[in-house]
Amino acid sequence: MISSLSVKLEINDTKTKQQLEEIIAQAGGFRITGNNNGACDLLILEIADEPDAAFRHLASIQSANLAKHVFLTSKRTESDILIRALKAGAKEFFTQPISTTEVSSALLKLLEQNGDRTKPARVEPRQGKIIDVFGSKGGVGTTTVAVNVATSLMELGNIQSVALIDMNLLFGEIPLFLNMDPAFDWVEVARNISRLDPTYLMSIFTKHSSGIHVLPSPSKIATDSFISAEVVEQLLKLMQSMFDYIVIDSGQAIDDTSMKILEVSDLVLMVGVLSLPCLIKIKRLQETFRMVGFPRDENVKIVMNRYNKKSDISLKEAEESLKRTIFWTIPNNYQATMSAINQGKPLSVIAGGSEIAKSFTDLTAFLGGSGEIKKEKRAFWGLI
Ligand SMILES: Nc1ncnc2c1ncn2[C@@H]1O[C@H](COP(=O)(O)OP(=O)(O)OP(=O)(O)O)[C@@H](O)[C@H]1O
Ligand SMILES: [Mg+2]
């Protein structure tokens, strides 16, 4: 058994260096070494303004066997850099600003691999929450809800990482809603599922300016890869170790993959509107879920979108008909949602301060815990 692992930090960014020193001290089982020429168990190296020089330096360290393990960190997230990091054999790649939980769980993993049983209990691996946004019908606003829940969660400030994935398996609209042009999509995941690890997966996601990581659906039919329930399960499991929240736009499909997502989700936001066909559809979906045994009633929360107090069907009538409480209402605001879609921006950016933007902030504060709602939220997740 080893007593502690030596870590060498080659980091120019003062804030990142300080943060890493704190996380390493907190983790226990590691000691930072200032010995510049000797070998170390773990090297954490920053890729800054001159990536070529940094990768050359790394290659020379590796050829001299001076670092058993390497983690890289950078402000840059171009796929070229991520691919080079992967090829260089880096075990982890932390995008700056670095996430404490991401670094802690990487350190924990390293300790486990090195057989240290003395690790302190406080360094727990991340177990991200999966929120499945499920449309009870087409066009009720599922993508609007998924996109704005993901971006609002990130805006809360107390959550470090959020991923948004599109399960409308062909021609999903998330890149359009966020004005993005992602290099990779689901096909890349399905093709490489057997060799996915956090570093590689991170290079497949595209980071949006809001801070969320996005995995879009394919824009053309792929004939050489198959997105199965097993692929989805494996992907989500890995993602739970990397992100605090994973928000999924599931559309309205009921198939093998969407059933798997419903099964493994911590929370299903069932999106509907106050119309008779929609209420009938929600009832049928509830009956189906009860028949297959998941998701359980308490994990499914009904969100009524486009809510207008003057609608023909009142909330009370809807609740009586569904025999369920309506968990949340999102106000009707066609102009704001249309501008958000057309400009490819979240509602908080397009219509910050509006009732609809506030509704998303309050909903995510409830789910993600901030300020006063935190206590209720703890109880809420505790129940699930
Ligand atoms: N709260 C709202 N108030 C008014 N209009 C809304 C609201 N939410 C969404 N919409 C509008 O409804 C339309 C459909 O929205 P969206 O694409 O999010 O729905 P969807 O359920 O994902 O659709 P699809 O079934 O095509 O995937 C858009 O034009 C959007 O502007
Ligand atoms: Mg949609």
331: left (phi over 0), alpha (psi -120 to 50) or beta: beta
User: 188 with 245, same domain?
Assistant: yes
Nearest-CA residue for atom 26 of ligand 1: 139
Confidence grade of residue 311 (pLDDT, cut at 50, 70, 90): very high
**Nearest ligand by distance to the CA of 306:** 1
| pLDDT of res. 122 | 45
Nearest-CA residue for atom 10 of ligand 1: 141
User: 99 with 150, same domain?
Assistant: no
Q: Which residues of 44-79 are buried (b: 16+ CB within 10 A; e: fewer)?
A: bbbbbeebeebbeebeebeeeeebebbbbbbeebee
Give the distance (Å) from ligand 1 centre to CA of residue 244.
26
C-alpha to C-alpha distance for 182 and 194, rounded to whole angstroms: 22
Give the distance (Å) from ligand 1 centre to CA of residue 294.
27
User: 71 with 163, same domain?
Assistant: no
Complete DSSP assignment for 207-263: E-TTS-EEEPPPSS--SS----HHHHHHHHHHHHTT-SEEEEE-TT--SHHHHHHHH
Quick check: is 312 in a domain? yes
| pLDDT of res. 224 | 60
Q: Which atom of ligand 1 is nearest to the CA of 135?
A: 21
Note if the bond before 218 is cis, omega within 30 degrees: no
Domain end residue (candidates: 61, 81, 113): 113
Give the distance (Å) from ligand 2 centre to CA of residue 351.
20
Quick check: is 184 in a domain? yes
Which CATH number covers residue 284?
3.40.50.300
Domain end residue (candidates: 68, 87, 113): 113
Nearest-CA residue for atom 23 of ligand 1: 139
Nearest-CA residue for atom 24 of ligand 1: 139
Quick check: is 17 in a domain? yes
Work out the mean pLDDT of the chain and round it to a whole number: 89
Which of the residue ranges 77-91, 184-198, 330-344 has the most confident prediction, judged by mean pLDDT?
330-344
Confidence grade of residue 251 (pLDDT, cut at 50, 70, 90): very high
Give the distance (Å) from ligand 1 centre to CA of residue 144.
6
- The residue whose CB lies within 8 Å of the most ligand 1 atoms, and thus the one to mutate among 132, 136, 144, is 144
| pLDDT of res. 225 | 63
Nearest-CA residue for atom 4 of ligand 1: 334
Domain of 244 in residue numbering reads as: 129-383
C-alpha to C-alpha distance for 165 and 242, rounded to whole angstroms: 14
Nearest-CA residue for atom 6 of ligand 1: 334
Quick check: is 120 in a domain? no
Give the distance (Å) from ligand 1 centre to CA of residue 341.
9
Nearest-CA residue for atom 25 of ligand 1: 138
Give the distance (Å) from ligand 2 centre to CA of residue 182.
18
- Please give the residue that has the higher pLDDT: either 300 or 33: 300
For residue range 117-136, list pLDDT tens digits in order: 454 444 456 789 999 999 99
Give the distance (Å) from ligand 2 centre to CA of residue 307.
18
Quick check: is 118 in a domain? no
Confidence grade of residue 9 (pLDDT, cut at 50, 70, 90): very high
Q: Which amino acid is at 18?
A: Q
- The residue whose CB lies within 8 Å of the most ligand 1 atoms, and thus the one to mutate among 269, 334, 339, is 334
Looking at the chain, the whole-number percentage of residues with pLDDT higher than 90 is 64
Confidence grade of residue 275 (pLDDT, cut at 50, 70, 90): very high
User: 191 with 303, same domain?
Assistant: yes
Domain tally, the chain = 2
The average pLDDT across 272-297 equals 96
Nearest-CA residue for atom 15 of ligand 1: 141
C-alpha to C-alpha distance for 378 and 187, rounded to whole angstroms: 36
Quick check: is 124 in a domain? no
Q: Is the pLDDT of residue 237 over 60?
A: yes
**Nearest ligand by distance to the CA of 351:** 1
* Cβ neighbours of residue 115 closer than 8 Å, sequence gap 6 or more: 1, 2
Quick check: is 119 in a domain? no
User: 18 with 57, same domain?
Assistant: yes
C-alpha to C-alpha distance for 143 and 177, rounded to whole angstroms: 8
Q: Which amino acid is at 282?
A: I
Q: In what order do the strands lie in the sheet with 30-32?
A: 30-32, 5-10, 40-47, 67-74, 92-95
**Nearest ligand by distance to the CA of 138:** 1
Give the distance (Å) from ligand 2 centre to CA of residue 322.
24
The SS3 call for residue 343 is helix
Report the residue count for the chain.
384
pTM above 0.75, yes or no: no
Which CATH number covers residue 95?
3.40.50.2300
User: 25 with 156, same domain?
Assistant: no
Question: CB atoms < 10 A from the CB of 268, how many?
Answer: 25
Domain end residue (candidates: 57, 79, 113): 113
Quick check: is 122 in a domain? no
For 200, the token pair is 């590689």
For residue range 336-373, list pLDDT tens digits in order: 999 999 999 999 999 999 999 999 999 998 887 543 44
| Whole-number Cα distances in Å, 163 to 80, 214, 259, 283, 381 | 21, 6, 20, 30, 19
The average pLDDT across 158-176 equals 91
Q: Is the pLDDT of residue 381 over 70?
A: no
Write down the residue that tokens 């815990």 correspond to.
Answer: 369
Residues within a 6 A CB radius of ligand 1: 135, 138-144, 251, 305-306, 330, 332-334, 337-338, 341, 356
User: 267 with 353, same domain?
Assistant: yes
User: 231 with 312, same domain?
Assistant: yes
The average pLDDT across 252-258 equals 92
User: 83 with 190, same domain?
Assistant: no
- The residue whose CB lies within 8 Å of the most ligand 1 atoms, and thus the one to mutate among 270, 337, 359, is 337
Give the distance (Å) from ligand 2 centre to CA of residue 355.
22
Give the distance (Å) from ligand 1 centre to CA of residue 337.
7
Nearest-CA residue for atom 29 of ligand 1: 338
Q: Is the pLDDT of residue 169 over 50?
A: yes
Q: Are 262 and 132 in contact (CB under 8 A)?
A: yes
User: 326 with 187, same domain?
Assistant: yes
User: 228 with 334, same domain?
Assistant: yes
User: 200 with 255, same domain?
Assistant: yes
